[in-house]
Amino acid sequence: MRTTTLRTGAGMRGGKTPQLVTIQPRPTLTAVIVTNLVRITGRLLRWLTEHAAAAGVILVLLLCLVVFGWVSTLAALVGLGCALALWHRRRPDSFRWVVTSRWRAMAIYGRCWQPAMVTCGLATRLGDEEYLPRIRKVRSEVCVDRVLVDLLLGQAPEDFDARTSQLAHTFEAIRCRVVVERPGRIWLEFTHRDPLTETVTALDPEPVPDLTALPIGRTEDGRPWLLRLLGAHLLIAGATGSGKGSVLGSLLRAVGPAIRDGIVRVWAVDPKGGMELSPSAPLFDRFAYGDAAAMVALLEDAVAFMRERAERLRQQGARVHVPTETDPLLLVLVDEMAALTAYVGDRDLKKRADSALQLLLSQGRAAGVLVVAALQDPGKDVLPYRDLFPTRIGLRLLEDVQVDMVLGRSARQHGAECDQIPASLPGVGYVTLEGHREPVRVRAAFVADDDVAATVRDFAPSTTDDQTLRMVKG
């Protein structure tokens, strides 16, 4: 049997295209060495221009080696290390601001800034040029690195708000927060150590409390959490076990000396039958619990007191009340506000409570009648007057939609992740202040039963037993 082999292209008409044979050039050893030397030199020059501080250190070190020798240079380095260690021990704040800030600005943020901006979509290109938001300075603190950034034209802080999770992971931080310094410039706050995982013990009150800066706990950057009471109503919202009692207990403890001296008087309402606030009852001038009619009557008496004082201030030509022993600040403390504004079965009582609270919240600040309210259920029917509270504290909440209900629109977008707070961290929450865009993460000090008893023992105003009994039952 014969086998026929067909040639490639058999039967094809036309001429065959000539094949172009390319011969790869073989560079010489000299060309390879010169090319790589040029590349290395270019990269070295670029690194030196981008890291002037490091280049200066290397240059000084080389000059010392040439002029003084390696022994003297080594001795100088050891002495410098000892001086830095002593500086860090004696003046840690200035050491962080001068040394740690510069080192982290160069080694962490400067090195990774360009790829971070590109991968996060915060850089832009015009033609062949690439533009990046520029770092102006870095400030390292105990728990937080604060990076001051100039925005590009057309950028807004919301562009960085949408990338905080990516930025935190890029720079190996626990979280990232955006704080606006002025138009076109923001601070990026990178938390690299969380000081709020440790319980804050009950704080000792100041002998003469500053009602504009009461110590309540600790903030995320390790500083004291100072709460403004004078001229500001306060709302506290959180699920069961979130630490509302710690906030209220720390507030009463901080203002205790003013209660003892008669500069502050407290009228308290406890719809839970008095279980929550009874241990602190001797601190109160009036205390209503259990009976809805008695609690609503207390709120209406506060409205009447507010109107009488406002008229007196008007006649005196005063626009703002100043607390004194003869004319004290009145603090209306309402635990579980929803029990009065949403859950009361009697429609008339509910309407009266709602009217009294709205009057106190809308007119009481200037007259020195302030409301501190706590609640568990931040539903729409519970917070129709949320914006009347200048200071709002959101502790652990069950759903992400509740964050904006309590703290205000876009609060969660700006970093208030109340729904992500674990149940193992009671007292941790976020605070929003009137006129401030960014919420602050805080933890209230834990006030144990012994601390409450000590507060009552040290700061309860002197009253007879009959007066105290009448106060509690009234």
pLDDT in tens, 258-316: 999 999 999 999 887 777 888 999 999 999 987 888 889 999 999 999 999 999 988 88
Q: Which of 4-8, 132-136, 139-143 has the lowest mean pLDDT?
A: 4-8
| Amino acid type, 419 | D
pTM of the model: 0.73
pLDDT in tens, 365-388: 989 999 999 988 776 555 667 788
Q: Which of 410, 468, 459 is nearest to 439 (CA)?
A: 410
Per-range mean pLDDT, top range of 215-229, 250-264, 338-352, 386-400 = 250-264
Structure tokens at 46: 């670029």
Q: What is the pLDDT of residue 54?
A: 66
Q: What is the pLDDT of residue 32?
A: 79
Q: What is the pLDDT of residue 256?
A: 92
Q: Which of 64-68, 227-231, 424-428 has the lowest mean pLDDT?
A: 64-68
Q: Which of 122-126, 193-197, 226-230, 308-312 has the lowest mean pLDDT?
A: 193-197
Q: What is the pLDDT of residue 470?
A: 40
Is residue 247 within 8 A of residue 446, CB to CB? The reply is no
Q: What is the pLDDT of residue 318?
A: 83
Count, residues in the chain: 474
Residue 348: pLDDT band (50, 70, 90) is confident
What torsion do the CA atoms of 105, 111, 114, 115 make, to the nearest 10 degrees? Answer: -130
Q: Please state, in angstroms and as integers, the Cα–Cα distance from residue 221 to each residue in 80, 420, 464, following that order.
A: 30, 19, 45
What torsion do the CA atoms of 309, 313, 316, 322 make, to the nearest 10 degrees? Answer: 110
Higher pLDDT, 373 or 71: 373
Higher pLDDT, 150 or 62: 150
Is pLDDT of 15 > 60? no
pLDDT in tens, 73-93: 777 777 767 766 776 677 666
Q: What percent of the chain has pLDDT over 70?
A: 84
Q: What is the mean pLDDT of residues 304-330?
A: 90
Is pLDDT of 336 > 90? no
Residue 328: pLDDT band (50, 70, 90) is very high
Q: What is the mean pLDDT of residues 457-474?
A: 57
Which structural domains are found in the chain, ordered by start? 97-193 (3.30.980.40), 199-473 (3.40.50.300)
Is residue 249 within 8 A of residue 268, CB to CB? The reply is no
Q: What is the mean pLDDT of residues 383-397?
A: 85
Q: What percent of the chain has pLDDT over 90?
A: 29
Structure tokens at 10: 């058999």
Sheet containing 329-334: order of strands: 224-227, 214-219, 440-444, 428-432, 391-394, 234-237, 369-375, 329-334, 264-270, 286-289
Q: What is the pLDDT of residue 130?
A: 87
Q: What is the mean pLDDT of residues 417-439?
A: 85
Q: What is the mean pLDDT of residues 41-67?
A: 72
pLDDT in tens, 184-208: 999 998 988 888 888 889 889 999 9
Q: What is the pLDDT of residue 82?
A: 79
Is pLDDT of 164 > 70? yes
Q: What is the pLDDT of residue 360?
A: 93
Reduce the secondary structure of the chain to three states and give it as a string: CCCCCCCCCCCCCCCCCCCCCCCCCCCCHHHHHHHHHHHHHHHHHHHHHHCHHHHHHHHHHHHHHHHHHHHHHHHHHHHHHHHHHHHHHHCHHHHHHHHHHHHHHHHHHHHHHHHHHHHCCCCEEECCEEECCEEEEEEECCCEEEEEEECCCCCCHHHHHCCHHHHHHHCCCCEEEEEEEECCEEEEEEECCCHHHCCCECCCCCCCCCCCCEEEEEECCCCEEEECCCCCCEEEECCCCCCHHHHHHHHHHHCHHHHHCCCEEEEEEECCCCCCCHHHHHHCCEEEECCHHHHHHHHHHHHHHHHHHHHHHHHHCCCCCCCCCCCCEEEEEECCCHHHHCCCCCHHHHHHHHHHHHHHHHHHHHHCEEEEEEECCCCCCCCCCHHHCCEEEECCCCCCHHHHHHHCCCCCCCCCCHHHCCCCCCCEEEEECCCCCCCEEEEECECCHHHHHHHHHHHCCCCCHHHHHHHHHC
